[in-house]
């Protein structure tokens, strides 16, 4: 380890980054291995068809669908109101 009053060189910094990356890769490899082992020992209790049908719907999808419908209605009403204003201005004489 270097003294605190001397800055790190690029080579030292690069070595430190490579070491951190190797440590991360090793932890990630172990995590994946443990997850696979857990999945193998604790099988899925529901058959695939039931598991897919019981999945919760993403709440943002419902919100987006509802918002899209509201926006479509708002655009439609604005279109009708604009036409009404043009008709009123066309038929009413000042």
Report pLDDT digits (tens) over 5-35.
788 899 999 999 999 999 999 999 999 999 9
Q: Per-residue pLDDT for 90 more than 80?
A: yes
> What does each C-alpha distance from 15 to 19, 46, 48 come to in angstroms?
6, 48, 47
**What CA–CA distance (Å, rounded) separates 53 from 41?**
24
DSSP assignment letter at 58: P
The pLDDT assigned to 1 comes to 52
The pLDDT assigned to 29 comes to 94
Confidence band of 3 (pLDDT split at 50, 70, 90): low
**What CA–CA distance (Å, rounded) separates 72 from 70?**
5
Tally: H helices and E strands in the chain: 3, 0
């Amino acid at each position: 380890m270097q003294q605190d009053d001397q800055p790190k060189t690029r080579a030292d910094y690069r070595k430190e980054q490579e070491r951190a990356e190797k440590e991360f890769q090793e932890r990630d490899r172990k995590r994946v291995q443990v997850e696979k082992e857990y999945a193998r020992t604790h099988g899925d209790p529901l058959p695939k068809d039931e598991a897919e049908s019981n999945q919760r719907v993403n709440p943002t999808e419902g919100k987006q669908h509802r918002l899209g419908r509201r926006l479509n209605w708002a655009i439609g009403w604005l279109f009708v109101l604009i036409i009404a204003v043009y008709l009123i201005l066309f038929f009413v004489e000042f």
